[in-house]
């Protein structure tokens, strides 16, 4: 018996990065995966990859997780195809960095829309199904939602991810009477396509961050999907409202050197 056998799992942002890794891993664990992304071709590639491995996946339409109409169509096509939703992993997000002193308000608003509004919209659209199945919601927060950064100018990202962490707690509160669980995973610095393009780029001041991470390395997609499988599975049936930090101890331990 696999850990997510027969569960219908909606995952946003499956064209690449953590969304793709989660889709592939959930399918390996027996889930019926519904993916979606702004990059529709990329999401279809992930779907084909899962099919080649013998898993089940569907990408019903191009998804814009910031648009209510698009999210509702995505959820409704998933229900038409599989009849239920057991897991929602609201993973899609896009960040615009910038100093609070100079960042245009439009960039702040676009980041909050992409990282926070998208989570709320997909949770609301899937709510009737999730409260029927007693399912679960996973959100992707970040250590950026727990602390400010001297190195990275990211007020919009910090505000949005702080909101994502708080929102998971409220979803847990409103979902509990229906047996619905909601939890957040907050990764630290994870090596993905997205982070390689900015924070882990060779010329970025965060590039050498490894030496400040107590466990001595950046995270991998697998570090995050291990946590996601656990929280989505019945092994976590008594866990709701939590924020599971996956960061090698980065946010818990002050920087410095062992004596």
Ligand X SMILES: NC(=O)c1ccc[n+]([C@@H]2O[C@H](COP(=O)([O-])OP(=O)(O)OC[C@H]3O[C@@H](n4cnc5c(N)ncnc54)[C@H](O)[C@@H]3O)[C@@H](O)[C@H]2O)c1
List interacting residues with ligand X (CB under 6 A). 12-13, 15-19, 37-39, 42, 63-66, 91-94, 114, 118, 140, 142, 187, 189-190, 192-195
- Answer for the pair 23, 46: CB distance below 8 angstroms, yes or no: yes
Give whichever of 133 and 220 is closer to ligand X, judged by the CB atom: 220
The alpha carbons of the chain give a radius of gyration, in whole angstroms, of 18
Give whichever of 85 and 218 is closer to ligand X, judged by the CB atom: 218
Q: If you write DSSP's letter for every residue of 78-134 in order, what string do you get?
A: HHHHHS---EEEE-------B-TTT--HHHHHHHHIIIIIHHHHHHHHHHHHHHHHT
Q: How far is the CB of 18 from ligand X (least distance, A)?
A: 4
Give whichever of 86 and 117 is closer to ligand X, judged by the CB atom: 117
- DSSP at 244: E
C-alpha separations of 36 from 20, 58, 119, 205 in Å: 10, 9, 14, 33
Closest by CA to 74, choosing from 125, 139, 19, 138, is 125
Give whichever of 3 and 16 is closer to ligand X, judged by the CB atom: 16
Helix (H, G, I), strand (E, B) or coil at 187: strand
Q: How far is the CB of 178 from ligand X (least distance, A)?
A: 25
Show Cβ contacts of residue 203 under 8 Å, excluding neighbours closer than 6 positions.
Answer: none
In total, the chain counts a number of residues equal to: 259
Q: How far is the CB of 13 from ligand X (least distance, A)?
A: 3
Q: How far is the CB of 64 from ligand X (least distance, A)?
A: 5
Residue nearest to ligand X (CB): 17
Give whichever of 1 and 203 is closer to ligand X, judged by the CB atom: 203
Q: How far is the CB of 42 from ligand X (least distance, A)?
A: 6
Strand partners of residue 140: 185
Q: Which residue has the tokens 């818990």?
A: 252
- Answer for the pair 92, 37: CB distance below 8 angstroms, yes or no: yes
Q: How far is the CB of 183 from ligand X (least distance, A)?
A: 14
- Answer for the pair 96, 111: CB distance below 8 angstroms, yes or no: yes
Q: How far is the CB of 57 from ligand X (least distance, A)?
A: 15
């Amino acid at each position: 018996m696999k850990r997510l056998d027969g569960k219908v799992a909606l995952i946003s942002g499956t064209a690449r990065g953590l969304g793709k890794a989660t889709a592939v891993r959930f399918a390996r664990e027996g889930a019926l995966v519904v993916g979606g992304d702004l990059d529709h071709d990329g999401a279809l590639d992930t779907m084909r990859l899962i099919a080649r491995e013998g898993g089940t996946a569907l990408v019903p339409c191009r998804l814009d997780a910031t648009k209510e109409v698009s999210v509702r169509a995505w959820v409704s096509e998933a229900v038409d195809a599989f009849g239920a939703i057991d897991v929602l992993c609201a993973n899609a997000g896009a960040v615009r960095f910038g100093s609070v002193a100079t960042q245009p308000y439009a960039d702040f608003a676009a980041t909050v829309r992409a990282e926070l509004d998208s989570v709320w919209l997909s949770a609301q659209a899937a709510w009737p199904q999730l409260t029927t199945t007693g399912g679960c919601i996973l959100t992707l927060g970040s250590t950026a939602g727990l602390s400010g950064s001297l190195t990275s100018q990211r007020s919009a990202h910090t505000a949005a991810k702080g909101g994502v962490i708080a929102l998971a707690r409220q979803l847990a509160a409103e979902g509990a009477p229906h047996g619905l669980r909601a939890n957040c995973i907050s990764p630290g610095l994870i090596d993905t396509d997205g982070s390689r393009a900015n924070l882990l780029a060779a010329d970025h001041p965060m590039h050498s961050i490894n030496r400040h991470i107590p466990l001595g390395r950046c995270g991998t997609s697998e570090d995050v999907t291990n946590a996601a499988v656990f929280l989505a599975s019945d092994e976590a049936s008594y866990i709701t409202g939590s924020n599971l930090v996956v960061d090698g101890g980065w946010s818990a331990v002050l920087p410095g050197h062992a004596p």
